[in-house]
């Protein structure tokens, strides 16, 4: 993330307009270096002064006070901190401009974001202002500015979505999904990035996409039929082939499991049918399922799992619990 973007992100953090993944990014940034915490504290003082007074002059005076304090402490601060502090002072004008802009500009013309969310079990199909079609998976959200299509085509995604991007050589289309940044001109691809899940993926159907992975310090250019898989825990990324129908079938409630473990099956059913699935024996999660369901009711799918792996299940509201039966005991 560029320095200017970072400080604008901090500004939005102070104004409580950040997304969960942005808060995670800031937390990691603050923990990574002492100079980052010093910079944050200095900018926080400017922001707090701006909350007490609406006069830009007062805010500027607060900035000067921070600069003076930093100057007085320079003899006791390690030399390597100085470049960061100088950068903070230089960019503070951006912070001041942002504060004044947010206050003086009518809400409808400010940096307003449009956000669309789906509930558990809900799949949303939406057409963007530029004609791009977005299929939003259950428990997912997209966020973009009101100027989308006029001033850039940038989307922030949490969860999963399938994009059918309208081509525009003059305005690249970008998706930010946690640590993954996807850049395209016109194509069809699927992005999966849920909070709390240890992996994420970008799956290309046609066209071409470029995926940036900061942890790898490089970009990956995908070809149709390729998928970038990212292990968030180990911060490892690699490309592989994938089955298009299995990855994108959810857009029409088509579920395909080709020798998938029940742990993966359970997660997909929880997303699509708004339920919670548990297993009496953790070993059951490794059982495999090979099946295809074309918009089938949940009880039908559960019965297939039961017959395939010799399991029983009980339902209590939204809770589904798989247990063993006599056939399982003999396995």
Tens-place pLDDT, residues 35-48: 777 777 777 767 66
Is pLDDT at 324 greater than 80 in this prediction?
A: yes
Whether residue 19 has pLDDT greater than 60:
yes
Residue 331: per-residue pLDDT = 43
Contact 276, 320 (CB under 8 A): yes
Neighbours of 126 (CB within 10 A): 13
Residue 37 confidence (pLDDT) = 75
Q: What is the mean pLDDT of residues 53-73?
A: 52
Whole-number pLDDT of residue 69: 55
| pLDDT confidence of residue 102 | 45
| 136 close to 161: Cβ distance less than 8 angstroms | yes
pLDDT at 323: 93
For 153, other C-beta atoms within 10 Å of its C-beta total 24
Other beta carbons less than 10 A from residue 161's beta carbon? 26
Exposure b/e, 25-34, CB count within 10 A at least 16 = b: bbeebeeeee
pLDDT over 90 (residue 163)? yes
Q: Percent of the chain scored above 90 by pLDDT?
A: 46
With a cut of 90, say whether residue 316 has pLDDT above it. Answer: yes
User: Given this model, what pLDDT does residue 36 score?
Assistant: 76
Looking at per-residue pLDDT, the higher value among 293 and 72 belongs to: 293
Mean pLDDT in residue range 44-60 = 56
When mean pLDDT is compared across 90-104, 121-135, 304-318, the lowest value belongs to: 90-104
Q: How does the average pLDDT of the chain come out, rounded?
A: 80
What pLDDT digit, counting tens, does each position of 227-252 carry? Answer: 999 998 888 999 999 999 989 999 98
| Bridge partner list, 323 | 312
50 pLDDT more than 70: no
Confidence of residue 330 (pLDDT cuts 50, 70, 90): very low
Instruction: Express as a percent the part of the chain with pLDDT over 70.
Output: 74
Q: Which residue has the higher pLDDT, 86 or 317?
A: 317
CA angle (29, 31, 33) in 5-degree steps? 80
Q: Long-range contacts: 225-231, Cβ < 8 Å, 24+?
A: 227/201, 227/202, 227/203, 228/180, 228/201, 228/202, 228/203, 229/199, 229/200, 229/201, 230/179, 230/180, 230/199, 230/200, 230/201, 231/198, 231/199
Q: Report the C-alpha dihedral over residues 160, 166, 171, 174, rounded to 10 degrees.
A: 10
Please count the residues of the chain: 331
Most confident range (mean pLDDT) of 24-28, 45-49, 290-294 is 290-294
Neighbours of 101 (CB within 10 A): 13
Q: What pLDDT was estimated at residue 118?
A: 94
**pLDDT of amino acid 30:** 76
Q: Is the pLDDT of residue 76 over 90?
A: no
Q: What is the pLDDT of residues 88-113, one digit of tens each?
A: 554 555 454 444 444 444 444 445 78
- Residue 211 host element (H or E): strand 209-213
Q: Residues 273-291: what's their mean pLDDT?
A: 93
Mean pLDDT (whole number) for 311-330: 81
Q: Is the pLDDT of residue 190 over 60?
A: yes
Q: What average pLDDT score do residues 104-131 get? A: 78
Instruction: Say how many CA atoms lie within 13 Å of 116 toward its Cβ.
Output: 19
**What is the DSSP-derived secondary structure letter of residue 137?**
P
């Amino acid at each position: 993330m560029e320095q200017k973007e970072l400080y604008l992100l901090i500004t939005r953090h102070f104004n409580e307009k950040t997304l969960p993944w942005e808060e995670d990014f800031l937390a990691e940034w603050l923990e990574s270096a002492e100079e980052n915490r010093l910079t944050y504290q200095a900018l926080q003082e400017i922001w707090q002064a701006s909350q007490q007074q609406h006069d830009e002059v007062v805010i500027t005076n607060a900035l000067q006070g921070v600069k003076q304090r930093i100057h007085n402490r320079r003899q006791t601060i390690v030399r390597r901190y100085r470049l960061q502090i100088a950068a903070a002072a230089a960019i503070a004008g951006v912070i001041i401009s942002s504060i004044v802009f947010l206050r003086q500009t009518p809400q409808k013309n400010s940096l307003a974001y449009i956000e669309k969310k789906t509930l558990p079990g809900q799949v949303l199909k939406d057409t963007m202002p530029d004609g791009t079609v977005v299929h939003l998976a259950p428990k997912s959200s997209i966020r973009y500015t009101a100027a989308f299509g006029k001033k850039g085509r940038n989307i922030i995604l949490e969860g999963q979505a399938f994009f059918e991007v309208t081509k525009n050589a003059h305005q690249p289309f970008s998706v930010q999904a946690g640590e993954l940044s996807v850049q395209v001109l016109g194509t069809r691809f699927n992005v999966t990035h849920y909070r709390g899940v240890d992996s994420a993926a970008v799956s290309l159907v046609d066209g071409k996409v470029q995926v940036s992975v900061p942890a790898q310090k490089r970009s990956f250019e995908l070809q149709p039929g390729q998928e970038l898989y990212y292990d968030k825990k180990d911060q490892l990324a690699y490309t592989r082939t994938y089955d298009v129908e299995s990855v994108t079938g959810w857009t029409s409630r088509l579920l395909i499991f080709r020798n998938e473990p029940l742990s993966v099956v359970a997660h997909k059913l929880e997303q699509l049918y708004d339920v919670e699935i548990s297993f009496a024996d953790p070993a059951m999660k490794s059982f495999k399922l090979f099946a295809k369901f074309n918009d089938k009711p949940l009880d039908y799918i559960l019965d297939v799992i039961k017959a395939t792996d010799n399991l029983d299940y009980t339902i209590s509201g939204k809770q589904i619990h798989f247990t063993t039966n006599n056939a399982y005991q003999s396995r």
